[in-house]
Amino acid sequence: MSNYHIKTLEEYFQVYRKSIREPENFWEEIAEEHFLWRKKWDNVLSWDFSKPEVKWFEGAKLNITENCIDRHLATRGDKTAIIFEPNNPDEASQHITYRQLYEQVCRMANVLKSQGVKKGDRVCIYLPMIPELAISVLACARIGAIHSVVFAGFSSTALATRINDCDCQMVITADGSYRGAKTIDLKGIVDEALLSCPDVKNVLVAKRINSDINMKDERDVWLQPLLDNASTNCPAEIMASEDTLFILYTSGSTGKPKGMVHSTAGYMVYTAYTFKNIFQYRENDVYWCTADIGWITGHSYIVYGPLSNGATTIMFEGVPQYPDYGRFWQIVEKHKVNQFYTAPTAIRALAKQGSEWVEKYDLSSLKVLGTVGEPINEEAWHWYNETVGKKRSPIVDTWWQTETGGIMISPIPFVTPTKPTYATLPFIGIQPALMDETGEELKGNQKEGRLCIKYPWPSMARTIWGNHQRYKDTYFSTFENKYFTGDGALRDEVGYYRITGRVDDVIIVSGHNLGTAPIEDAINEHPAVAESAIVGFPHDIKGSALYGYVTLKDTGETRNQDNLKKEINQLISDRIGAIAKLDKIQFTEGLPKTRSGKIMRRILRKIAEKDTSNLGDISTLLNPEVVQNIIDNSL
Ligand code: PRX
């Protein structure tokens, strides 16, 4: 018997050791006993980080939707697979059983086929958190099409970039979306994006807000009538283990967003196994992850991980503050949620409103609390533990990335003793390493360095769509023969890890990964701007917020600075999305640069953090004189 469900610390250590000493045997047993294969693999793992190339379960054939849906029908056909909780609490929630999910996914898959989508084609999904989103994702997987979900908060320009990068021929969207008291014109955003996406042939439109929208002849089709006429039977396409399951874009520190490519079998095995253990999911539990399926958290831990375990997973369309700050807890009470998984930024925002919002509701169903996306500060951890969890529900602080596909470092609840702000121990099969700046591994405890992973794990991204060289340069070139995460971490006296934050130019704002380069590009489009630099600074709710230093062109004109700030933020909103707007904008005479012309962000970061005591040696800068001026005018 494989160790699919770990229940004690002793068992964790024993299984961990096995997973490191004999990784292939270990993963083979997990894969063999807990999944449905059309054909078994010839080889469990082949890898070479110098290329880099990683293949898991080569030779195997499967379809992930048969694992997530079909195989549960005999025993869990009437069990709820997805609970849809709408934005507005007055609208009824929907309970979709595994059988209904099967039928709806088959219908959607047949619709995609009837619109000409074939195995290997890319389909862009730009939908709000409504059931059609999960169903579209699964329908793509059913027929072997590659889904590329774009978070429905991204702007038309950001959407167009993502559609064109992987050459999607179809977009699935909705007339609009609800967000608290507001509605968003999603279809209008798609229309604008498609002005620069000539290869998109079809747009399927779900009806959500019943708005009056423009439907373009021969391109746009309402989804519902097609679904109504489609068959509820769609045989699953048989996929190879390394066939691409999906592409998901994430920000890089430079350049355009990276389309991380995830493959099928390894991703399935790892997300299922982590879900089972890190949430200690039991058969009749109700699990809720508040993320959006537009992010990796939603892919792995709303859709694939829970469904492959036959779990009941909640999809929430709304926001934590609507209609009031009790909404999360009202949902926990309503659906008797057992596992609750959210982001530190949401915890901080809710904690700020006071405990009364939590205390109004019965949260006694909660067993496990989770966090993801950014470091959680001590205060937020304690509030979560005491006010929400009543010190009964362990907090799993889960560290991972879009690139890793699944959770990498995390406590196992009721197994690993937790420690505030620590993600604690590596999950089964994960071999972390801390590196110093010279490329030496820091062995032993009480060390701090750059976080790498030394050995492949099943759900790691295989490449960047269309740019394998960038994949190699970004992740496998900083440290030889290791995957470099871009994060810093420390290991304490017992070997627990604490993630200290990014060591590159990626800034995590409210749990969203934002690269500085695309934001600076957007700002620099403003005709009055000469150049700009973005850094992060601490923010009590968002974790980090964005501080922009902007140098204007010297035209001799005087401009109203407040208007300029508004225009700059509007540009950012248009090019990327409202999530990337700047909290502070400082106009500068110049930006500190090295003699080779590189902007010294380290200095700007310190000024934004109001820590100017130790700026280092600035005399070697090209223009040291600008620094004092920036300090004097800092915000
Ligand atoms: O810096 C780390 C931070 O989020 C980054 C990954 O962002 P993304 O690809 O958008 O995926 C987020 C959801 C998995 C990481 O490089 N991060 C994620 N989880 C944690 C974290 N930082 C500290 N603690 C965490 N638990």
Residues 582-610 pLDDT 10s: 999 999 999 998 777 778 888 999 999 99
247 lines ligand 1 (CB under 6 A): no
- Residue nearest to ligand 1 atom 13, measured at CA: 373
486 lines ligand 1 (CB under 6 A): yes
Same-domain pairing of 87 and 218: yes
In a domain, 313, yes or no: yes
Query: Quick one: how far is CA 232 from the chain centroid?
Result: 31
In ligand 1, the atom with minimum distance to the C-alpha of 502 is 1
Q: Which residues form the domain of 512?
A: 506-632
In a domain, 356, yes or no: yes
Same-domain pairing of 310 and 441: yes
Least confident of 243-247, 287-291, 337-341, 576-580: 576-580
Q: Cα(first)–Cα(last) distance of the chain, in Å?
A: 61
Q: How far is the CA of 172 from the centre of ligand 1 (A)?
A: 28
Can you tell me the mean pLDDT for 290-315?
98
Question: Are the CB atoms for 603 and 592 separated by under 8 Å?
Answer: yes
Confidence of residue 104 (pLDDT cuts 50, 70, 90): very high
By the 10 Å C-beta count (0-12 exposed, 13-18 middle, 19+ buried), 181 is classed as: exposed
In a domain, 451, yes or no: yes
Q: How far is the CA of 622 from the centre of ligand 1 (A)?
A: 35
Q: Does the pLDDT of residue 24 top 80, yes or no?
A: yes
SS3 for 261-280 is EEECHHHHHHHHHHHHHHCC
Same-domain pairing of 536 and 401: no
CATH of residue 181's domain is 3.40.50.12780
Q: How far is the CA of 501 from the centre of ligand 1 (A)?
A: 8
Confidence of residue 253 (pLDDT cuts 50, 70, 90): low
pLDDT tens digits, residue range 36-53?
A: 999 999 999 999 999 999
Q: Which of 513, 514, 542, 579 to mutate to test the pocket of ligand 1 (most atoms within 8 A of CB)?
A: 513
Q: CA separation (Å) from 89 to 211, 331, 341? A: 20, 9, 20
In a domain, 492, yes or no: no
- Residue nearest to ligand 1 atom 8, measured at CA: 401
pLDDT of residue 601: 87
In a domain, 26, yes or no: yes
Q: How far is the CA of 231 from the centre of ligand 1 (A)?
A: 41
Same-domain pairing of 453 and 578: no
Same-domain pairing of 123 and 166: yes
Residues 6+ apart with CB under 8 A from 615: 603, 606, 607, 627
389 lines ligand 1 (CB under 6 A): no
SS3 for 212-233 is CCCCCCCCEEEHHHHHHHCCCC
In ligand 1, the atom with minimum distance to the C-alpha of 499 is 23
Q: Which tokens belong to 498?
A: 């604490």
Same-domain pairing of 280 and 400: yes
In ligand 1, the atom with minimum distance to the C-alpha of 410 is 26
Same-domain pairing of 245 and 349: yes
pLDDT of residue 594: 79
Average pLDDT, whole number, for the chain? 95
Q: How far is the CA of 542 from the centre of ligand 1 (A)?
A: 14
In a domain, 296, yes or no: yes
In ligand 1, the atom with minimum distance to the C-alpha of 423 is 26
In a domain, 490, yes or no: no
373 lines ligand 1 (CB under 6 A): yes
432 lines ligand 1 (CB under 6 A): no
544 lines ligand 1 (CB under 6 A): no
**The domain boundary residue, chosen from 434, 456, 475:** 475
In a domain, 493, yes or no: no
pLDDT tens digits, residue range 414-447?
A: 999 999 999 999 999 999 999 998 999 999 999 9
pLDDT tens digits, residue range 328-360?
A: 999 999 999 999 999 999 999 999 999 999 999
CATH of residue 623's domain is 3.30.300.30
pTM, entire model? 0.93
Q: In the chain, how many domains are there?
A: 2
- Alpha-carbon gap, residue 193 to 159, rounded angstroms: 6
Same-domain pairing of 286 and 401: yes
537 lines ligand 1 (CB under 6 A): no
Same-domain pairing of 429 and 545: no
Same-domain pairing of 517 and 448: no
Question: Are the CB atoms for 551 and 630 separated by under 8 Å?
Answer: no
Cβ count within 10 A of residue 144: 22
372 lines ligand 1 (CB under 6 A): yes
Same-domain pairing of 416 and 526: no
Same-domain pairing of 348 and 232: yes
